[in-house]
Amino acid sequence: MAKIHEVAEAAGVSISTVSYALSGKRSISPATRDRVERAAALLGYEPNAGARMLAGRRTQIFALTEPFRPDTHAPTHMSFVLATSIAARRYDYDILLLTDAEASAGMRRVSASGLVDGIIVLDVAPEDDRVALSRAIDVPTVFIGVPEDVEGLVCVDLDFEAAAALAVDRLADAGHRRIGFVGHPESAYARSNFPPRVRRGVEQEARRRGVAVSAEYPGEGDERHRDIREAVRRLIDDGVTALALHCDDAAHSAVLAELAAAGLSVPADMSVVSIGSSFDTSSFSTPLDRIPLEPESSCELAVGLAARMADGESVEPGVRLTEPRYQAFGSVSPPR
Amino acid sequence: MAKIHEVAEAAGVSISTVSYALSGKRSISPATRDRVERAAALLGYEPNAGARMLAGRRTQIFALTEPFRPDTHAPTHMSFVLATSIAARRYDYDILLLTDAEASAGMRRVSASGLVDGIIVLDVAPEDDRVALSRAIDVPTVFIGVPEDVEGLVCVDLDFEAAAALAVDRLADAGHRRIGFVGHPESAYARSNFPPRVRRGVEQEARRRGVAVSAEYPGEGDERHRDIREAVRRLIDDGVTALALHCDDAAHSAVLAELAAAGLSVPADMSVVSIGSSFDTSSFSTPLDRIPLEPESSCELAVGLAARMADGESVEPGVRLTEPRYQAFGSVSPPR
DNA sequence: TTGAAAGCGCTACCAG
DNA sequence: CTGGTAGCGCTTTCAA
């Protein structure tokens, strides 16, 4: 725990020179900078966080608010947390967790105490009380996800509607006229902000392209695996020649299992595309084309915006959607 | 962002009185305390975090280091993060996330900068470089999980061996002489610290009680569901009359599905116990007896210890194991 | 290009 | 039981 004073002494300069040499906030002669850096490294100097906050009015901490709802999909959520945390470090920020009751109440607390320079909001619900909170506090806030009311907010997300449309387009381009959609359990469409956007994207693009869609929303819990296989069976009986999936990896596995059980091969007998998946669809027994979720893109963008706002730059409110990307792994071909 | 000065003025007292009235660190007349609290509430006063750290040499922040390994089981991990975060707030601490490369490097950084008062280590590997790091830094560190070399460390965890033994005992008590064990994929036994402890517990207690054990470690990935069902089939053919499970919820579902497919009912034809599960085994189609993981116990204990150490109390190094608890839901009965 | 020094807002010691 | 005040270790003016 060396202090700036000791570094200054060791380098034979004043403490302000040490501060400037290390922060780069004013020009320092190469020789001096070098001496300072050497001394700092030698002593293992790390500026005291508290002193820095107090004097510099910047904490280099972002709060990450995540309610951890019971129906949150843990693996996907984890990849968002990870991506945010990594992006934050690139901008020299640490992440402070606000969960459970503190997801909301903590926003007020940490902004009032000046503990954080910005707030990143995860796991956004259509009607989210953190929307009103973000307007009430004076700390820059960025939403990853799009709530109902976005007035004055800075939001970032994958363009799920475009992603869904892209999936439908690829299938329609290949000549499919009747496709099946396997979505999340019905309950997810009220609680979360993005499943409805995928559904809407599929429906609208299908209408535009003259493609018929049969949708299935297999349930949760114990019987899920069976539910999904029954849903796939119904879609096969319906005569669909392609499937668009927006569900978790276990559901993907179940779909593939049922196709195999029905003696259908991909893509010869059934084309399959995965929409907004955060897991690796290329390592399934049958690699699947996908439009990936890519939390890294949204999180990087969100953290970058938060950093700019924390620097006092003004950022235009609005919803920033990242463009979907199509990854082909050979699971789509023309229908038989 | 009211400051202590304004609160003092509003309450008609000195700033030191405000500080003491709010912290309770010296006795204050009820009348004065009341005036101060009213003024603070009215102004929405929240002590400035940076100033507090600098003057008080306490940050009220714990770092939580979690590498997010690729094979980390996300739902279980999330429940540990959540439990730690909630426990921390009860002790008036916030949680700072250290993930990815920062899980290790960050420990040094945040302790050198005085950003945190303590460190909680999650997702402990048998050979974990955070063990050496924790010895090199001067910030109190508590491990949730037990690494190979625990010399001088403060560790907290469920007593997995006792949990496994408890499961075997209950089955043996019911009269079972031949039981099946469904564990994690083989790879988990090298990477993680607790699966080997469960395996050891099962083996030792089975030997002690004269019970035969057939063990299965079904694989990962796409074909997992099928793997598990085949494993269960083998165990049935082996003539086991009871199963002890130490695997994730999807695997539990697959096991139940295979039992149903084989025409076996629980517990009449097959008794089943779940060991160290973090999910709710009582809401399966067949409720299962379990010895729950209960992250809350370990996390509460870990945070409590960290808080005491941060207060300067000396805490005896050593491994503190929490006692397993048996929850019966009617899935165990004597063999036919 | 460098140095001196004035705070940042609180905690905790020393008086009374 | 209460008030005054000296720092905590840095950042950032103001001077040179």
pLDDT, tens digit (0-9, with 9 covering 90-100), for A180-189? 999 999 988 8
Q: CA–CA distance from A52 to each of A104, A297, B241 (Å)? A: 27, 31, 65
Whether residue A137 is contained in a domain is answered as: yes
CA of A108 to C1' of C16 (A): 39
Residue B199, number of CB atoms within 10 A of its CB: 21
Q: Which of residues 273-292 of B touch A (CB under 8 A)?
A: 283-285
Same domain, A255 and A309: no
Q: How many CB atoms lie within 10 A of CB A79?
A: 20
Could you check: is the Cβ of residue A43 within 7 Å of any atom of nucleic acid strand D? no
B90 and B125 both lie in a single domain = yes
**Among chain B residues, CA nearest to A85:** B99
Query: Is A55 within 7 A of strand C by CB distance?
Result: yes
pLDDT at A70 over 90: no
pLDDT digits (tens, 9 = 90+) for A214-228: 999 998 777 788 899
**Domain identity same for A222 and A194:** yes
**Distance from residue A275 (CA) to nucleotide D16 (C1'), in Å?**
65
Same domain, A87 and A153: yes
B73, B86, B89: which to substitute to probe chain A, counting the most A Cβ within 10 Å? Answer: B89
Q: Is A250 part of the contact surface with chain B (CB cutoff 8 Å)?
A: yes
Give me the CA B139–C1' C16 separation in Å, rounded.
Answer: 39
pLDDT mean over A12-23:
95
Q: DSSP letter at B58? A: -
pLDDT score of A335: 93
Measured between CA atoms, how close is B214 to chain A, in angstroms? 25
* DSSP assignments along A70-85, one per residue: TT--HHHHHHHHHHHH
Q: What is the pLDDT of residue B187?
A: 87
Could you tell me if B167 and B244 are in contact, meaning their C-beta atoms sit under 8 angstroms apart? Answer: yes
Task: Write down the pLDDT at residue B193.
Answer: 85
* B69: contact with A, CB 8 A cutoff: no
Instruction: Check whether residue A85 and residue A130 sit in a common domain.
Output: yes
Q: Nearest 10 degrees: CA dihedral of B44, B47, A51, B95?
A: -100
Share of chain B above pLDDT 90, in %: 89
Q: Residue A155 phi/psi, 5° resolution?
A: -120, 150
Nearest to A77 among B78, B95, B223 (CB): B78
Would you place residue B58 in the very low, low, confident or very high pLDDT band (cuts 50, 70, 90)?
A: very high
Cβ of B29 near strand D (distance < 7 A): yes
Residue A230 and residue A194 share a domain:
yes
pLDDT score recorded for residue B220: 79
The CATH number covering residue A204 comes to 3.40.50.2300
Chain B residues whose beta carbon lies within 8 Å of the beta carbon of residue A113: 46-49
The 10s digit of each residue's pLDDT in B118-130 is 999 999 999 999 9
Q: How far apart are the first and last CA of chain A?
A: 71
Q: Is the CB of B113 under 7 A from strand D?
A: no
Both A113 and A72 in one domain: the answer is yes
B223 has a chain A CB within 8 A of its CB: yes
Structure tokens at A114: 């000046």
Using the beta-carbon criterion (under 8 Å), do B226 and A257 form an inter-chain contact? yes
CA of A158 to C1' of C12 (A): 51
Our separate counts of H helices and E strands in chain A read 13, 11
**Mean pLDDT for chain A overall:** 95
| Spatial CA neighbour of B301 closest among B77, B88, B58 | B88
Quick check: is B267 in a domain?
A: yes
Instruction: Give distance CA B14 / C1' D4 (Å).
Output: 9
For residue B331, is it within any domain? no
Are B192 and B246 contained in the same domain? yes
B30 touches chain A (CB under 8 A): no
Q: What is the pLDDT of residue B168?
A: 97
Indicate yes or no: CB of A222 within 8 angstroms of CB of B283: yes
Tokens for B29? 């007349």
Comparing alpha-carbon positions, the chain A residue that sits nearest to B249 is A222
Same domain, A26 and A123: no
**Cβ contact, residue pair A221, B283, below 8 Å:** yes
Query: Could you tell me if A288 and A329 are in contact, meaning their C-beta atoms sit under 8 angstroms apart?
Result: yes
Average pLDDT over residues B234-256: 94
The mean pLDDT of chain B is: 95
Yes or no, beta carbons of A78 and B78 under 8 Å apart: yes
- What is the structure's pLDDT at A23? 93
For residues A6-19, average pLDDT: 95
Look up residue A3 and give its two tokens. 């202090």
Q: Is B47 on the interface with A (CB under 8 A)?
A: yes
Measured between beta carbons, the chain A residues lying within 8 angstroms of B253 are 222, 224-225
State whether A222 and B285 contact (CB < 8 Å): yes
Taking residue B34's Cβ as centre, other Cβ atoms within 10 Å add up to 13
Q: Single out the residue of B129, B87, B40 nearest to residue B305, CA to CA.
A: B87
Give the closest of B52, B97, B225 to A257, CB-based: B225
In this complex, is the C-beta atom of A68 within 8 Å of any C-beta atom belonging to chain B?
yes
Rounded alpha-carbon distances, angstroms, from residue B291 to A272, B5, B25, B174, B179: 41, 54, 43, 16, 17
pLDDT at A283: 87
Domain range holding A285? 160-292
Residue B25 approaches strand C within 7 Å at CB: yes
Shared domain check, B226 and B183: yes
Task: Please choose, from the candidates B114, B89, B100, B112, the residue with its C-alpha nearest in 3D space to the C-alpha of residue B65.
Answer: B100
pLDDT in tens, B316-334: 999 999 999 999 999 999 9
Using the predicted structure, report yes or no on whether residue B293 has a pLDDT greater than 80: yes
Q: Decide: CB of A22 under 7 A of nucleic strand D.
A: yes
Residue B334 lies in a domain: no
| A304 CA – C9 C1', rounded, Å | 30
Whether B192 shows a pLDDT value over 90: the answer reads no
For the segment A101-143, what is each residue's pLDDT rounded down to a tens digit?
A: 999 999 999 999 999 999 999 999 999 999 999 999 999 999 9
Q: Tell me the pLDDT band of B202, cut-offs 50, 70 and 90.
A: very high
The whole-number pLDDT of residue B121 equals 98
Cβ–Cβ below 8 Å for B50 and A50 = yes
Task: Give the CATH number for residue B36.
Answer: 1.10.260.40
pLDDT at B283 > cutoff 90:
no
Q: Give residue for tokens 């000065």.
A: B5
Burial class (CB in 10 A: 0-12, 13-18, 19+), B213: middle
Q: Chains A and B: how many Cβ contacts under 8 Å?
A: 147
Q: How far apart are CA A94 and CA A116, in angstroms?
A: 9
| Whether B6 contacts B18, CB under 8 Å | no
Q: Strand D: which bases are under 7 Å from protein Cβ? A: 1-13
**Percentage, residues of chain B above pLDDT 70:** 100
**Can you tell me which residue has its alpha carbon closest to the C1' of nucleotide D5?**
B16
Asked, for residue B71, whether it belongs to a domain, the answer is yes
Do B224 and B314 lie in one domain? The reply is no
Residue B70 pLDDT? 81
Residues of A in contact with B49 (CB under 8 A): 50, 53, 59, 110, 113-115
Instruction: State whether the beta carbon of B15 lies below 7 angstroms from any atom of strand D.
Output: yes
Least Cα separation, residue A163 to chain B (angstroms)? 24
Determine contact: A260 vs chain B, CB below 8 A.
no
φ and ψ at residue A184, rounded to 5 degrees = -75, 170
pLDDT in tens, B91-113: 999 999 999 999 999 999 999 99
Cβ B315 vs Cβ B160: under 8 Å: no
Whether residues B141 and B170 fall in one domain: no
Q: Give the pLDDT score at B224.
A: 83
- Enumerate residues 6+ apart whose C-beta is below 8 A from A141: A107, A118, A119, A120, A121, A134, A153, A154, A306
Terminal-to-terminal C-alpha distance of chain B:
71
Contacting residues for A253 by C-beta, under 8 A, at least 6 apart: A284, B222, B224, B225
Q: Which residue is nearest to nucleotide D2 (CA to C1')?
A: B17
Q: Per the domain annotation, does B329 fall within a domain?
A: no
Q: Quick check: B78 and A82 CB within 8 A?
A: no
Residue count of chain A, please give it. 336
Structurally, chain B folds into a number of domains equal to 3
Q: Is the pLDDT of residue B203 over 80?
A: yes
Q: Gap from B45 CA to D8 C1', in Å?
A: 22
Is residue B77 included in any domain, yes or no?
Answer: yes
Domain assignment present for residue A329? The answer is no
CA distance B172 to chain A (A): 28
